[in-house]
Amino acid sequence: MFINKVYDRRVTTEMNIIRTTYKNCTLELVDKYTIRMYYNDTIFAFILDRMYPYKYPILQINNIEYIDYFIKKQTKYMIPFLNIKCPCCYNVSCEWCPSNGMDTLLKDYFLYNKLFSHIFNFSIIYNKLKLDDLIYKKILDYLI
């Protein structure tokens, strides 16, 4: 009984935080354990467990699980000398604690998304030009 009250209060509070942070978003409570968010032509789904916030939620981006989404991107644009942390091992889900929330997962997603956007742009430069690795590192330092 106690867990349900904590869960309900927490989910309501976090939905309000998301609405405040992401002004143009639309939130939809699909069922008791699934929340869908529409934002910038992207569909985010938070799949919660009844033990939330003590157990991390699963985040899906356009029906692809968060971790899989970035692993596919990482392998696609991997550049040999880059030392990028694996999104599978270094993300909010792996370091989850009850003080984190759904908004923390979204921030993590947007951070990684920005990083991979820069890597994509950088990969274009990397594949077009044949320069020394030190020059590439300087360019990447500037982008990131």
**Domains of the chain: total:** 1
Number of Cβ within 10 Å of residue 36's Cβ equals 15
Give percent above pLDDT 70 in the chain.
82
CATH number, domain with residue 119: 3.10.110
- The residue range of the domain holding 134 is 2-143
DSSP 101: -
Q: CB of 136 within 8 A of CB of 128? A: no
- 20-79: pLDDT as tens digits: 999 999 999 999 899 999 999 999 999 998 888 888 899 999 998 887 776 666 555 555
Q: Hey, is 17 helix, strand or coil?
A: helix
